[in-house]
Structure 1
């Protein structure tokens, strides 16, 4: 009978593979993957927040141009909207990939978006004084898109807040907090929105035509 010999490097690789095969389900079962998985869910929810705010930003030039065609004496309101949009856009473009780890940047982003919400609300309220504008088909289409976008923003913010709540709770409760102490030392609680939906709510954009 011929003896089968196994080289040491191969034997070590085989042993490592066997240990990995045994430990992976054990680590998963005891919550090792919970923190990184929930962190990725927070990042995905944050991306949706950014997407929906960008969607709103993209609507503004056409909206301003349409209202401006009827309300020529509301220049200050137009200026406020344009300036608020510029600041919100700049803040978003300059957000670093790790913005969620910088509470100050997050707060500035939120405040700029809230300011834009207020300016948009004042712009939409102008239509009450211009019946022809309220009946304009382009304005009505933009109004509908804005309503839908505001709803999407609300949903995206809600989903982000919930994802952060779940993630932050995992960092502070057993058994997952043990993995933070042992392995995920650098993971910190992530910021959530401090400005309420009510505070951000723009004046109604629905009109009785």
Structure 2
């Protein structure tokens, strides 16, 4: 075997090794995005499951704030309807739901009896913790998306990504800043 043949053979083995390594990184990052998406989904479902108990607790104290409670229930329903949709499609609805929760907690300041209710305090704490977990899960998801997208879009790994049909993932972000604002409710 000549020296030229050996160089070609070693180059081929090195190229094949690089291809396997890049392919495995693409698979790893795609799986990490899926796992992160599942983590965000779990937290969003957890928050949605707490809202009926919160509305029930608040309803007895805030009889004349029914518009706020109805908006919250309506936004929760929309979020549940989009439960199987991609995170990027759900982001605006989930942001509206977060805004409504913040608005409800702001209204509660005018109800000292409600603020002292043990069940309400537990629910408020659980939802606050849930919002923090959603933020952490969303940051992790967006980081995983970034890592995958860098591999899919940068050369030369984009050649293998194209060859094996790896596509960039969508970030969990709002399309427009106003989608994250609390809804304007009239009383």
Q: TM-score range by the shorter chain?
A: 0.7 to 0.9
Q: Which runs of 5+ in 1 are unaligned?
A: 1-21, 100-105, 203-209
Matched, 1:63 2:54: yes
Q: What whole-Å deviation, never above 9, does each CA across 1:48-71 have from its counterpart, x for those lacking one?
A: 010000000000001011111111
**TM-score (structure 2 length as normaliser):** 0.81
Given candidates 135, 140, 146, the residue that maps to 2:121 is 140
Q: What are the equivalent positions in structure 2 for 1:1-209 lying under 5 Å apart? A: 26=17, 30-92=21-83, 94-95=84-85, 99=86, 106-181=87-162, 183-184=163-164, 186-195=165-174, 200=180
CA contact (8 A) 2:96 2:181 kept: no
Structure of higher CA gyration radius: 1
Q: Aligned equivalents of 1:161 and 1:108: distance in 2?
A: 14
Compared CA separation, residues 150 and 197, structure 1 to 2 (3 A): farther
CA contact (8 A) 2:43 2:133 kept: yes
Q: Which runs of 5+ in 2 are unaligned?
A: 1-12, 183-187
CA contact (8 A) 2:19 2:160 kept: no
Aligned residues: 168
Q: CA RMSD in A?
A: 2.5
Moved over 3 A (4+): 27-30, 196-202
